[in-house]
Amino acid sequence: MKMWTTKEAAEALNVSPTTIKRWASHFVGRFTKDEWGHYVFSENDLEKLSFIKKQLDQRLQLNQIEFDAQAASMKQAVLETAAASADAAGFQAEQLAEYCHEMKRRCDSLEYKLSTKADEVVSIQLLEHRRELDDLTRSVKLLLQNTENLNQSINLLQKRSEAFFSVPQTAKKKTLLASLFQL
């Protein structure tokens, strides 16, 4: 399935990329982002963006646009098409309603499973990130301890080398003549 970047979606709808970003950020949760935080759009998302553009062209404001209306009109179109096909195939209206009800139940079940799975994935990712942070914290503490040990060793070596290389100065004996002329 082809995913469209913000720029590609903007070119397809003949609007600016900033407009696409504004629409996507207004309808939180309706559009997905990639691992870098950039919006990416599927064909279905492009239909949503096109729906937004049409609604704005009809002088609606962003906060007045509802996707449920779009979903309802799409559902009605699907039902009409299905009804026409069912009539052609000889199905009864009751069978069609049962079929639609079953399909809706399955879709709801899939949405619930998908939501649950997404929550589980996020939880696992958070636990992995926490473990990584704990590992990094331990590594930093170990590095700090090793640095402190090295500093102590350096200080000890400096003291030992100063003691070893320092030459004690002995007092010079004054000669008799020097002591006579000194006051």
Q: How confident is the model at residue 79 (pLDDT cuts 50, 70, 90)?
A: low
Residue 10 pLDDT > 90, yes or no?
Answer: yes
Please report, for the domain that includes residue 55, its CATH number.
1.10.1660.10
Q: Domain for residue 45, yes or no?
A: yes
Tokens found for residue 79: 């039902």
**Interatomic CA distance for residues 111 and 166, integer angstroms:** 82
Q: Domain for residue 52, yes or no?
A: yes
User: E-assigned strands of 15-168?
Assistant: 32-33, 39-41
Q: Domain for residue 4, yes or no?
A: yes
First to last CA, the chain: 106
Residue among 45, 48, 65, 67 nearest 56 (CA): 65
Number of domains in the chain: 1
Q: Are 24 and 40 in contact (CB under 8 A)?
A: no
Q: Domain for residue 37, yes or no?
A: yes
Determine the pLDDT at residue 6: 92
Q: Domain for residue 124, yes or no?
A: no
Q: Domain for residue 5, yes or no?
A: yes
Q: Domain for residue 30, yes or no?
A: yes
Q: Domain for residue 33, yes or no?
A: yes
Residue 178 pLDDT > 60, yes or no?
Answer: yes
Q: Domain residues for 41?
A: 1-65
